[in-house]
Amino acid sequence: MFNNAFDGKKVLVTGHTGFKGTWMTLWLQQMGAEVVGISDRIPTDPSHFEAAGLGETMTTHWLDIRDTEAVPKAIADEAPDFVFHMAAQALVKASYDDPVSTYSVNAIGTANVLEGLRRLTNQCTAILITSDKCYENVETYYGYREDDRLGGADPYSASKAAAEIIISSHTRSFFGQDDADRNVRIAVTRAGNVVGGGDWAADRLVPDVARAWSQGENVTIRRPQATRPWQHVLEPISGYLHLGAELAERPELHNEAFNFGPPAEAVNPVRDVVIALQKHLTGLDLTIDESQAHFHEAGLLKLTCDKALSYLQWTPVLDFDETMQISAEWFARFYNEGAEGIKEFTQGQLDYYTALAAKRGLSWADQ
């Protein structure tokens, strides 16, 4: 898998205690990597990081990513072969509550990681994760491409656009014109809304439904027609890992950006999501309120992922029903049987995903 790029390598993951970070850490460990993390805390309770006992299997630097001294030093001291930067204030709603800290965590935090990379003397491949929301949403019907305009009407989106500009500036200023001049290669990735087991972030549909189901509470859906592109958390993570492995071998991918999203037609209303979840969360008490179906929704932000297909032969693996099924099954397993054995259950979902990827012809799964 991934050309064996991670076996025996040291991989530094920032934000490893969060939703994506926990899945990525487990996957990397399964492939034989030594994972070290930078995070300021365990962000949720319950927590996938704690339930899977990850703290006992890796070194964590408990640091605020805004710490301009400690973060670059930790990266330089670790001298990793790969860096995946995911530490962020990741919620749009929280960005309205505290815009300045969202700007500083997401933009200055990224600058600190880049400063750490500048201090390295070893070969290192770095994948910096921003968001689909870094694109200026011009309320159009087409999917955004990597060279579309950056921007953001809300503080979270602006913080991600700012991180992108900093990455581009730092990469061009400090990471060599020619490949022979540089020991660090950098690429940036943009993905959207993800779902899956182990997510307990506030105000997200799937965790909210699973939590209510576990307590026998009714779930009322007030905007059932609202559409989003939905993808399982393993889809962008497969993209990040594949890009990392390819960038380590292919200097021409340095300073490139990639979208990782579901196919353009995989845009489903919230109604479809909760009905799909209900099939696997037995007895889910669901009310779908269609009375506000006429409300205008902001233009949907979709990604075009032709570049990932063309340069990396990357596509998503799961269809909509499979995505919802394994997400619901994870929460059902957790709430029915508790944390005991959840790490093995997560690893089983990883095995299912990679086997399906190989069967469906994804090049990263075969290599």
For residues 259 and 304, the answer to whether their CB atoms sit within 8 Å is yes
Tokens of 336: 């029915």
CA atoms of 192 and 170, how far apart (whole Å)? 24
Nearest distance, CB of residue 109 and ligand NAD, angstroms: 6
Nearest distance, CB of residue 96 and ligand NAD, angstroms: 15
Q: Smaller CB distance to ligand NAD: residue 81 or 164?
A: 164
Residues 19, 144, 260, 334: which binds ligand NAD (CB under 6 A)? Answer: 19
Q: What element of type H or E holds 256?
A: strand 256-260
Dihedral pair phi/psi, residue 51, rounded to 5°: -60, -35
User: Residue 278 interacts with ligand NAD (CB under 6 A)?
Assistant: no
Nearest distance, CB of residue 317 and ligand NAD, angstroms: 17
Q: Smaller CB distance to ligand NAD: residue 43 or 152?
A: 43
Instruction: Fill in the per-residue mask, 179 to 218: x = in contact with ligand NAD (CB under 6 A), - = not in contact.
Output: ------------xxxx------x-----------------
Nearest residue to 54 (alpha-carbon basis) of 31, 78, 35: 35
User: Residue 302 interacts with ligand NAD (CB under 6 A)?
Assistant: no
For residues 310 and 150, the answer to whether their CB atoms sit within 8 Å is no
Residues 64, 154, 272, 322: which binds ligand NAD (CB under 6 A)? Answer: 64
User: Residue 131 interacts with ligand NAD (CB under 6 A)?
Assistant: yes
For residues 314 and 261, the answer to whether their CB atoms sit within 8 Å is no
What is the total count of residues that contact ligand NAD (CB under 6 A)?
26
Residue 273 contacts by C-beta under 8 Å, 6 or more apart in sequence? 205, 206, 230, 324
For residues 261 and 232, the answer to whether their CB atoms sit within 8 Å is no
Q: Smaller CB distance to ligand NAD: residue 63 or 219?
A: 63
Q: Smaller CB distance to ligand NAD: residue 194 or 210?
A: 194
User: Residue 268 interacts with ligand NAD (CB under 6 A)?
Assistant: no
Which segment (33-41, 119-127, 272-280, 303-311) binds ligand NAD by CB under 6 A?
33-41
Dihedral pair phi/psi, residue 12, rounded to 5°: -100, 125
Residue 356 contacts by C-beta under 8 Å, 6 or more apart in sequence? 317, 318, 322
DSSP labels, 119-137: T--S-EEEEEE--GGGB--
User: Residue 72 interacts with ligand NAD (CB under 6 A)?
Assistant: no
Q: Can you give the length of the chain in residues?
A: 367
Amino acid letter for position 213: W
Nearest distance, CB of residue 171 and ligand NAD, angstroms: 18
CA atoms of 2 and 20, how far apart (whole Å)? 18
Residues 105, 134, 161, 365: which binds ligand NAD (CB under 6 A)? Answer: 105
Query: Which of helix, strand or coil describes residue 269?
Result: strand
Which segment (85-93, 114-122, 289-297, 329-337) binds ligand NAD by CB under 6 A?
85-93
Q: Smaller CB distance to ligand NAD: residue 41 or 279?
A: 41
Q: Using CB under 6 A as the criterion, which residues of the chain lie in contact with ligand NAD when the complex forms?
A: 15, 17-21, 39-41, 43, 64-66, 86-90, 105, 129, 131, 191-194, 201
